[in-house]
Amino acid sequence: MTVASIIGGGVIGGGWAARFLLNGWDVRVFDPDPEAERKIGEVLANARRSLPGLSDAPLPPEGQMTFHADMAEAVQGAAWIQESVPENLGLKHKILAQIQAVCDAGAVIGSSTSGFKPSQLQEGSNAPGQIVVTHPFNPVYLLPLIELVPSPANEAGFVEKAAEVLRSIGCYPLHVRAEIDAHIADRFLEAVWREALWLVKDGIATTEEIDNAIRYGFGIRWAQMGLFETYRVAGGEAGMKHFMAQFGPCLQWPWTKLTDVPEFTDELVDLIAGQSDEQSGAYSIRELERIRDNNLVAMMRALKAQDWGAGAILKGHDARLKAGTELVATAADLTEPRPVLTCARAVPLDWTDYNGHMTESRYLDAFAQSTDRFMELIGCDAAYIAAGGSYFTAETHIRHIDEVHAGARIEVRTQMLQGAGKKLHLFHSMYEGARLLATGESFLLHVDLTTRRSCEPGPQVLEGLALMRAAHGALPYPEGAGAAIRRP
């Protein structure tokens, strides 16, 4: 198992730990804080309920997390070492020197710093090419952006090696080509933050009104198109040139105070803190984190359905996960005398309801995915459907046996009860581990998509059905099959 070492277990370090752990890495944590294990445990609990649900493919088995009182013990043998200690250059130099004294020469040492340049971090190092900036965004376990900032001391192959590791855990490594204070994203955040401070100080807007201006307006646009593409669309058919010609002169107007910042007096701090408490003080930090995670997962999953923005990163990661997993059945399983594994995934946050467990419509969703996979296995794949043949579901019956919650890893195993002529009768069983959650029984008819009427399947599907009949013909009839809701 590949090992990642996390040095510093605060909010950011804990997020890194969760991201690596849930993508199958073993994680070793070093943090002298006696509360580190509890704090990271709480971050991990949030990650377990939210991150797996971003994927429509099964994540690899979770790695093992261990906590270490000795930094050398934590970093020896690690392939990736992530430093997330406070933003103090002297402290970072001290920690990085201690890491390099004992770590493997080929390990990547990434720093979560939001302000220091890699060349600053590399000062005094005997192996400066081993250290890069890998600046994440909170929550690290959900947001894919990592600013990967090298210096001239880092070889191109080393930078690409670091980028590939980041891609393998579902991140988007943004290669910052030149060192610059605060990298790229934080420069934008700093500019907006400065302007927001003036708006509050001058009594123009409250903290809540500023947040509303972002989240109800341009923040949603930026989430899926960024800045320049948003403005290109705003230029209409004439595009970016028209937009710049129309709005470029505004840059000469005294709209902002971005070159200045109000003095952080006690009065200003109290004003902003008071407004912030009034705005969201009814929620604990953990509650706000879960609300944030719910919203991020819903937005990114919606973007994934469109293969756009951050959703495209998720879709690409799903493809890598599917290519690397052997969980879901392949055509070779058609000849095995056991129900086939047709679905393996986590329960997304948006599959849960007001009772805190998976809502009944999503059981049908999962079973429908299983039916689709079964159809592919017997030859009713995309090409077959495009040629005019498919199956339509005529009847479905679901039994809800036990509840399941967000983040849980579920599997569906499918037994064919009948597969002859036009008729296909399937029985799905959903599990979390060994615990049976639900069964779904489906009766389908093969149809001609041109006439929309039932008909005999084509030769490739008939061959797949014959293999499955031979494999499943001797299996016992499953408990609950053929059941109906009893009359009172």
Residue 480 φ/ψ region, left for φ over 0, alpha for ψ in the -120 to 50 degree band, beta for the rest = left
- Residue 170: CB partners within 8 Å, gap ≥ 6? 19, 23, 54, 55, 144, 313, 314, 317
Looking at 237-284, list the stretches that DSSP marks H as alpha helix, in order from N- to C-terminal side.
239-247, 266-280
11 is in an annotated binding site: yes
The DSSP symbol for 61 reads P
The whole-angstrom separation of Cα 483 and Cα 471 is 24
* Listed residue (96, 145, 86) closest to 124, CA to CA: 96
Residues 6+ apart with CB under 8 A from 456: 421, 422, 446, 462
Contacts of range 301-304, beta carbons closer than 8 Å, 24 or more positions apart: 301/53, 301/54, 301/348, 301/350, 303/223, 303/224, 304/54, 304/56
13 is in an annotated binding site: yes
Q: In terms of DSSP H, where are the helices of 23-106?
A: 36-50, 71-75, 89-100
CA distances, 461 to each of 289, 371, 390, 446 (Å): 48, 14, 10, 10
Phi, psi of 394 (to 5 degrees): -100, -30
User: Exposed/middle/buried for 21, CB within 10 Å: 0-12, 13-18, 19+?
Assistant: buried
Tell whether 9 is in a known binding site.
Answer: yes
**Cα R_g (the chain), whole angstroms:** 27
> 178: burial class by Cβ within 10 Å (0-12, 13-18, 19+)?
exposed
For residue 12, say whether it is annotated as part of any ligand binding site: yes
Record the tokens describing residue 377, joined without a space: 């296995």
Nearest-5° Cα angle at 466, 464 to 472: 100
Summarize the annotated binding site for NAD(+) as residue ranges: 8-13
Summarize the annotated binding site as residue ranges: 8-13
